[in-house]
Structure 1
Amino acid sequence: MTQLPPTALRLTVTHRSHELTVDVEGDLFLDTGDQLVDTVTDHLVRCADVRVVRLSCARLSWIDSVGLSALLMVHRRVCAAGSVLRIDDRSSVLDRLLRQTGTLGHLTALAGQDDDAGGAHAT
């Protein structure tokens, strides 16, 4: 049986004013989760003025439970830095995983809001 190589995770980071945007492209799973966490953490350390971190997930093609764990760790690090996480352009695959695991509200609630985020595919 031939094993196909995993799809690489490509992260493009843009820092403007008080906002850090990370475009996420590819698969977020066991082999790539640390890459996302490390990238966001490194930029938070280097750019102390960041108040909002946006993960643009329009080109996220797959996510598993380890990828979800990476998102939760990113959320934890962003909050610890005094910033707010926004997950934009969520795919149906990502939304389904967040709903099934009960993490949708936690990861998408605005600061000061209840963990009951519904509606659109962006926060």
Structure 2
Amino acid sequence: MTTLPPSEFTLGFDHDPATLTVRVAGELDYDTSDDLLEAVIEHLTADQAPLRDVRLDFSELTWIDSSGLSALLMIHRRASAVGAALHLDNRPDVLERMLRITNVLDHLTAPPPGLRDARNGRAAVDEDDGITGAGAT
């Protein structure tokens, strides 16, 4: 039996005035989830203009476990606290299964309370953000 070495975990960041994009590659698990959480919190609390969106790009994610899911829930909580919407882009099958089984996809991608239109409960932000394809939120 051949065992493959674990995929190297890396994070890449793109930041414009209103949006933080984090590219997550490799395995998001017990050993790496704190790295993602701490990096996103650092950007959310930096002395800068408030973020409107936090985009996590999972196109190179190879694995996620319950610790990784916990980190996503904490990132959602922290992003919502500052009024930023969380987007989970380019979700591979392994992440999609985890989100569906645990039934947290809608929770993680719901707009923060401050961005809802009080009249009808719909997001007050533009729904068509130009991202298409499977896994775009």
Q: What TM-score comes out, normalization by structure 1 length?
A: 0.85
- Counting aligned pairs with the same residue, the percent is 50
Is contact 1:29-1:64 (8 Å) kept?
A: yes
Aligned-residue Cα RMSD (Å) equals 2.1
Q: Deviations over 1:10-60 (max 9, x none)?
A: 000111121000000010000000000000000111134211000001101
Aligned to 2:40: 40
Return 5+ residue gaps in structure 1 as ranges.
none
8 Å contact from structure 2 (residues 85, 110) kept in 1: no
Does 2:22 match 1:22? yes
Who is 1:12 aligned against?
12
Aligned position for 2:31: 31
Query: Is the CA contact 2:17–2:49 (under 8 Å) kept in the aligned structure 1?
Result: no
Equivalence for 2:135: 121
8 Å CA contact 1:50–1:83 kept in 2: the answer is yes
Instruction: Tell me how far apart the structure 2 counterparts of residues 4 and 91 of structure 1 sit (CA, whole Å).
Output: 19
Structure with higher Rg: it is 2
Give the TM-score normalised by the residue count of structure 2: 0.77
Partner residue, 1:50: 51
State how far apart, in whole Å, the 2-side matches of 1:103 and 1:63 are: 14
Shift of 1:8: 3.0
Task: Say which is worse superposed, 39-48 or 52-61, in terms of deviation.
Answer: 39-48
Alpha-carbon separation, structure 1, partners of 2:78 and 2:105: 17
